Copies of this chain bind each other. A is one copy, B any other.
């Protein structure tokens, strides 16, 4: 573990924030207000945590100008304390560096173009005709299929599977266990079972995309599945064949998007959402957690479905009545008419 130390003056210059306090104070960690110690920088972005300002042991706090009078210690005054926390987090990243070069235990196919600054980890397998740009990192045990290409500085964690003919941009992060380019779920029904539709498309992923652990993005049936620049996708997300996801859209964990659906730009799909196939969502649509989207959404806004949690005993009674809802409504209308 490397310890990195920064003076408050250095951090203020890095952030372009106003420093109030001791410019020589040394910071070697980033911490919550509750856990911070004298060597820690902390931050206040959510007003709910203001209550911890009085008791924090933080060596300095990033906070908004409106709140700076609430804290007597060293501070970095910023109009965007949460963004500045994110910027400082990069300084303290604990991700191990990867040595450039191909590890002797890795297997690399013919006709690859691997930049000198790229790193291919132990027991990774690279197919034929693969292109790895400058600064690409391929983690241990990962597989990159034939004719796939990965843009500069993209980091592929351990045990990732990327099939053949996949295009991934630069500055991406792909977490362990994710699978890019498996066959879309396409079959023609016949009298005696299913006939496989071979999936001839690929997957095209833009720049600065993050893909969570165990997330799957299937290859297209004929055209490509397409993920725009800046999209962020959490763990266990299923993206079926020929889905298209617009720029900077965020998709939280355990969500699933069925085939040929198009999601607009700047959408936020919360966790455990399911979206059916062959529909479109406009830009700036927000879907709340555990919702089910069964039809296109043409206007920006927030959408939801589901029923509220209750003690099982109460829920059981109400759920049973759900089966009678149409009857109840009809009878109410009849009463109203009488």
Contacts and interface: CB of A to CB of B under 8 A. Distances in A.
Interface of A: 1, 30-32, 35, 80, 82-83, 85-87, 89-90, 92-96, 103, 105, 107, 121-123, 125, 127-128, 139-143, 145-147, 157-161, 163-165, 173, 175-179, 182-183, 185-188, 190, 192-200, 208, 210, 212-214, 216, 218, 221-223, 229-230, 232, 234-236, 238, 240, 247-248, 250, 252-254, 256, 258, 271-272, 274, 276, 286-295, 297, 301-326, 328-329, 331-332, 335-336
Contacts of A304: 309-312, 315-316, 319
Copies in the complex: 3
Given A86-B195, A320-B308, A163 B176 contact: yes
Contacts of A291: 309
A interface secondary structure, majority:
loop
B165 A157 contact: no
A89 B197 contact: yes
Given A105-B123, A193-B248, A289-B292, 4 more contacts: A94-B164, A234-B240, A304-B310, A321-B325
| Across the A-B interface, the 5 shortest Cβ-Cβ residue pairs | A161-B176, A125-B140, A143-B158, A272-B274, A107-B122
Given A86-B197, A96-B127, A318 B326 contact: yes
Contact of A105 (B105, B142, B195): B105
Nearest to A306: B292
Contacts of A335: 332, 335-336
B90 A198 contact: yes
Give the most central of A107, A213, A302, A332: most B CB within 10 Å: A213
Contact of A123 (B123, B223, B318): B123
Given A235-B182, A291-B309, A32 B146 contact: no
Among A121, A247, A272, A293, max chain B CB count under 10 A is at A272
Given A105-B105, A312-B303, A328 B331 contact: no
A147 B1 contact: yes
B323 A332 contact: no
A212 B85 CA distance: 34
A193 B159 contact: no
